[in-house]
């Protein structure tokens, strides 16, 4: 981890000011783009906060916003097309594997371990699971197993692939599911971790049904 620049944070005023900076830094991360110039960001803050003046007009800035937005859209479209092609390739190969079943929606599942064959969750059930989620190349993006703590949530509160799979499982079952993009995060993706049109793979262990 890189060393943080030194700054005095002794008074309440300094700490509160630093907190505002953290919030703004988080906003920058959410709106990050190739070529973002932090020095220019800092200059903008200083110019407006200190003098309520700008070195360029809003009319000059707006076209640049549009250029950056267009670049981001083009980049997202290119990435989405690549992800979609990779998803189709993976799902076709996975469907041909022994032990993999495919439902009418396109969900693919493989039973790794069978539980007691008893109760299955309903659409409004709350479940306790351990899970391990990866992209098709094996990159882990979310894992309760790695965190060492099961997750609890409503069956209707998750992606469509999970909602469908959980209602077919019984307590104790452990399945491996492959989720087509339309049953995962679709054309939008999910933040930086999951690009648009991405197929996802989960190992799900249904531990309990609550209530």
Give a yes or no: residue 66 inside a domain: no
Give a yes or no: residue 46 inside a domain: no
**Beta-carbon contacts of residue 186 (< 8 Å; ≥ 6 apart):** 196, 197
CA-based nearest residue to 79, from 192, 189, 195, 185: 195
Our count of domains for the chain comes to 1
Is the pLDDT at 5 greater than 80? The verdict is no
Question: Is 131 among the residues known to form the active site?
Answer: yes
Catalytic: which of 202, 204, 207, 209?
A: 202
pLDDT band at residue 211, thresholds of 50, 70 and 90? Answer: low
* In the chain, % of residues over pLDDT 70: 99
Question: Is 159 among the residues known to form the active site?
Answer: yes
Give a yes or no: residue 5 inside a domain: no
Output the pLDDT for position 65.
94
Output the pLDDT for position 92.
96
Output the pLDDT for position 117.
73
Specify the CATH number for the domain of residue 173.
Answer: 3.10.50.40
Output the pLDDT for position 55.
94
Q: What is the mean pLDDT of residues 60-89?
A: 91
Output the pLDDT for position 76.
81
CA-based nearest residue to 17, from 7, 27, 4, 26: 7
Question: Is 153 among the residues known to form the active site?
Answer: no
CA quadruple 190, 193, 195, 197: dihedral positive or negative?
A: negative
The chain-wide mean pLDDT, for the chain, equals 92
Range of the domain at 184: 74-210
Residues 209, 126 contacting (CB under 8 angstroms): yes
Mean pLDDT check: name the lowest of 3-7, 109-113, 134-138, 179-183: 3-7
Give a yes or no: residue 206 inside a domain: yes
Give a yes or no: residue 130 inside a domain: yes
Catalytic: which of 90, 185, 204, 209?
A: 185
Give the tens place of pLDDT for each residue, 142-176. Answer: 999 999 999 999 999 999 999 999 999 999 999 99
Give a yes or no: residue 17 inside a domain: no
> For the range 155-160, what are the long-range contacts, defined as Cβ-Cβ under 8 Å and sequence gap of 24 or more?
155/121, 155/122, 155/123, 155/124, 155/125, 155/126, 155/127, 156/123, 156/124, 159/183, 159/184, 159/185, 159/200, 160/105, 160/184
Counting Cβ atoms within 10 Å, is residue 199 exposed (0-12), middle (13-18) or buried (19+)? buried
Is the pLDDT at 85 greater than 80? The verdict is yes
Give a yes or no: residue 59 inside a domain: no
Is the pLDDT at 195 greater than 90? The verdict is no
Give the tens place of pLDDT for each residue, 28-59. Answer: 988 888 999 999 999 999 999 999 999 999 99
Residues 129, 143 contacting (CB under 8 angstroms): no
Give a yes or no: residue 14 inside a domain: no
Output the pLDDT for position 42.
92
Residues 77, 194 contacting (CB under 8 angstroms): no
Vertex 95: Cα angle to 155 and 77 (nearest 5): 75
Question: Is 49 among the residues known to form the active site?
Answer: no
Output the pLDDT for position 118.
79
pTM listed for this prediction? 0.72
């Amino acid at each position: 981890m890189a060393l943080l620049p030194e700054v005095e944070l002794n008074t309440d005023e300094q700490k509160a000011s630093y907190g505002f900076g953290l919030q703004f830094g988080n906003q920058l991360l959410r709106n990050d783009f190739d070529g973002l110039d932090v020095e220019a960001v800092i200059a903008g803050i200083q110019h407006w906060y200190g003098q309520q003046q700008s070195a360029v007009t809003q009319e000059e800035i707006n076209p640049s916003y549009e250029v950056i937005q267009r670049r981001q859209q083009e980049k997202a479209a290119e990435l989405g097309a690549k992800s979609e092609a990779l998803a189709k390739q993976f799902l076709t190969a996975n469907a041909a594997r022994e032990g993999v079943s495919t439902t009418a929606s396109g969900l693919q599942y493989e039973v790794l371990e069978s539980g007691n064959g008893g109760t299955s969750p309903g659409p409004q059930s709350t479940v306790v699971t351990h899970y391990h989620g990866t992209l098709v190349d094996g990159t882990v993006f979310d894992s309760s197993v790695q965190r060492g703590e099961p997750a609890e949530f409503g069956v209707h509160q998750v992606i469509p692939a999970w909602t469908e799979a959980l209602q077919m499982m019984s307590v104790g079952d452990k399945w491996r599911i492959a989720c087509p993009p339309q049953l995962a995060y679709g054309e939008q993706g999910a933040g930086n971790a999951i690009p648009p049109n991405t197929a996802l793979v989960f190992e799900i262990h249904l531990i309990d049904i609550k209530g």
